[in-house]
Amino acid sequence: MRKIREVLRLRMTLAHSPEKIARAVGIAETTVRRYLTLWAKTGLTWPLPEDLSDDELEITLFPPIQKIRTRGGPLPDFAYIHKELKRKGVTLHLLWREYSIQEKAYSYSQFCLLYQRWREEEKSYMMQIHKAGDCTFIDYVGLTIPITDAATGEITFKAQIFVATLGASGYIFCEATRTQTSEDWIGSHRKMCEFFGGVTKCWGPDNLKAAVNRSDRYEPVLNTSYLCAAEHYGTCILPARVRKPQDKSKVESSVYSVETQILAPLRDRTFFSLEELNAEIEPALKSLNNKPFQKMPGSSRYSLYLEIDKPALSPLPDTPFEFFQWGSTVVDSGYHIFIEGIPYSVPYKLIGRSIEFRYNERVVEFFYKGKQITLHLRSHTLGQPVTKDNHRPIRHQYQAKCTPEEIYKTAQDIGAKTLEWVDHVLRDSSLHIRQRINTTLCVVRLTKTHSNSRLNAACDRALFYHNFKAAGIKDILQRGLDKSPLPKQELINPLPQEHKNVRGAGYYR
């Protein structure tokens, strides 16, 4: 369902062609056209209603799936032929004889001509024409820069160099980051958009893991965090084909320029932080962007950017993108999902269902069929569950209340003497905490068979006689002693300090 919603967004919001949408979403172009045709027949409006679930969208759009038939043909497999010709003793004539067994096979002369044309086509390259504000090509430089610990002199890590280039003007952005992980990758995209002062209609990255989970020429599976960033900035993602650098030739040439004109002059420098390295990169990048083209005198990347690309860029969103890690799992019978060692609760009714989750330093969110089901503030106390009471079954909610804090609350509602009796028992360090809890629970639950006033009076009598057993409270209630007044305590007069019969300490000297 996420892909269908993305198809509709790219078509309705960005007006992309079905071909571009197919590459961005990772599905066949025919499927995109079919989705759009079905969409037009439904009468649904864009944007989709907020309460429209994935199931409802599927029922509205999806007819029974039909298989697409493809036509076969007797054309030779030229890639296989080219590979076989590299083997000793293999000739083109031999390969033609093996191929000619098929019906309606080409003659030997036609076979050779077709193979020659195939080779010429393979050796050719297509001159790419990039429209203003259309695409940003993105990659990392192969060269890294060591970052040294100032105290020990040891290399702590090797900085990665992120490079992005606007297709029409060739305007370059680059920065050093600690890693190529998803968080650094998307953080560089945020800075890239701020540097360009806008967003192109698509991003053309390489197939690194931070961008693409599974590479495929026709249906790549995109990283969810990266896809969310594209949605936030109102663009789409068109990854380059695997081992096809010509798909991102703009950034390939920019990578070479960054290596030779920015990084190579820094090869003998020692850097102690990313901030120090980026401070050196910034003026060198400015110089590179302002350097005049050899084949276009009077023009530079920066001047073309101002003239061509900048007016065509989409505006930046009101707020920068907030990074989230994404994942999915099946809810087990404990109805808690572990996020970096800490369990967070989800509604127990989702046990056995597959859900998605995302988290950052602030919050943890859970989604089921595209809708948010719950949100927790991020905890950093390892092993301590984060649980909402309404996520538990009723019996678990009841059991969760068997804590000293809940017992104190219940005792306070019953009466002051009950609270005093409970407090004395719970503070008795000679007993194990479970023993104390069981004793006090037994007493406060007597309200199921006796009134609060009787139980409070029974606790008052137990306090008078220093009886701190649950059985003692039950006995008082069963015998009705809570209704009898307590005996008056006799005051014991203290002995006099001065008396004629008191000899004193001096007598014994």
Decide: residue 71, CB within 10 A, 0-12 exposed, 13-18 middle, 19+ buried. exposed
Separation of alpha carbons 193 and 199, rounded Å: 6
Residue 336, pLDDT > 50, answer yes
Q: Distance of alpha carbon 95 from its chain centroid, rounded? A: 52
The pLDDT value recorded for residue 11 is 82
- 15 falls in which pLDDT band (50, 70, 90)? confident
Angle between helix 18-25 and 2-12 (nearest 10): 140
The pLDDT value recorded for residue 180 is 94
Q: Quote the tokens at residue 131.
A: 């429209």
Mean pLDDT of 311-322: 93
Higher pLDDT, 489 or 95: 95
The pLDDT value recorded for residue 123 is 62
* H or E element, residue 120: helix 108-123
pLDDT in tens, 171-183: 999 999 999 999 9
- 73 falls in which pLDDT band (50, 70, 90)? very low
Question: How many residues can be counted in the chain?
Answer: 509
* H or E element, residue 146: strand 145-148
3-state secondary structure of 336: strand
Q: What angle do CA 74, 76, 79 make, to 5 degrees?
A: 145
Asked if CATH classification 3.30.420.10 holds for the domain at 135-312, the reply, yes or no, is yes
| Structure-token match 């493809």, residue found | 70
- Give the largest CA-CA distance in the chain: 146
Q: Quote the tokens at residue 265.
A: 């002059």
Separation of alpha carbons 492 and 485, rounded Å: 21
- 62 falls in which pLDDT band (50, 70, 90)? low
Cβ atoms of residues 211 and 226 within 8 Å: yes
Residue 65, pLDDT > 60, answer no
Q: Quote the tokens at residue 492.
A: 């014991």
Q: What percent of the chain has a predicted confidence (pLDDT) above 70?
A: 90
- 67 falls in which pLDDT band (50, 70, 90)? very low
* pTM score of the predicted model: 0.58
Higher pLDDT, 496 or 87: 87
Looking only at the bridges linking them, the beta strands covering 135-140 and 202-204 are parallel
- 269 falls in which pLDDT band (50, 70, 90)? very high
Question: How many other C-beta atoms can be found within 10 angstroms of the C-beta atom of residue 397?
Answer: 12
Sign (positive/negative) of CA torsion 387, 392, 396, 402? positive
Higher pLDDT, 217 or 416: 416
Q: What is the DSSP string of 317-339?
A: PSSPPPP-EEEEEE--TT-EEEE
The pLDDT value recorded for residue 69 is 34
The pLDDT value recorded for residue 60 is 74
Separation of alpha carbons 182 and 225, rounded Å: 8
Q: Distance of alpha carbon 266 from its chain centroid, rounded? A: 36
The pLDDT value recorded for residue 375 is 95
The pLDDT value recorded for residue 398 is 74
pLDDT in tens, 408-435: 998 999 999 999 999 999 998 888 888 9
Separation of alpha carbons 9 and 111, rounded Å: 47
pLDDT in tens, 189-212: 999 999 999 999 999 998 899 999
The pLDDT value recorded for residue 157 is 95
Separation of alpha carbons 56 and 103, rounded Å: 50
- Cα dihedral 379→384→390→396 (10° resolution): 170
Cβ atoms of residues 439 and 480 within 8 Å: no
Separation of alpha carbons 358 and 66, rounded Å: 35
Poorest-confidence range of 9-23, 72-86, 328-342?
Answer: 72-86
- 504 falls in which pLDDT band (50, 70, 90)? low
| Region for residue 340 given its phi and psi (left: phi exceeds 0; alpha: psi -120 to 50; beta: otherwise) | left
The pLDDT value recorded for residue 349 is 94
| Region for residue 369 given its phi and psi (left: phi exceeds 0; alpha: psi -120 to 50; beta: otherwise) | left
The pLDDT value recorded for residue 64 is 47
Mean pLDDT of 233-252: 83
Angle between helix 54-61 and 29-42 (nearest 10): 90
3-state secondary structure of 98: helix
- 53 falls in which pLDDT band (50, 70, 90)? confident
- 71 falls in which pLDDT band (50, 70, 90)? very low
The pLDDT value recorded for residue 499 is 65
Comparing C-alpha atoms, which of 385, 298, 287 is closest to residue 334?
385
The pLDDT value recorded for residue 434 is 85
pLDDT in tens, 94-149: 998 888 888 778 888 888 988 888 887 766 555 566 788 999 999 999 999 999 99
The pLDDT value recorded for residue 5 is 80
Higher pLDDT, 54 or 47: 47
The pLDDT value recorded for residue 135 is 92
Separation of alpha carbons 373 and 269, rounded Å: 52
Peptide bond into 63 cis (omega under 30): no
Distance, first Cα to last Cα, the chain: 103
Comparing C-alpha atoms, which of 280, 274, 285 is closest to residue 179?
274
Q: What is the mean pLDDT of the chain?
A: 86
Residue 312, pLDDT > 60, answer yes
Residue 382, pLDDT > 50, answer yes
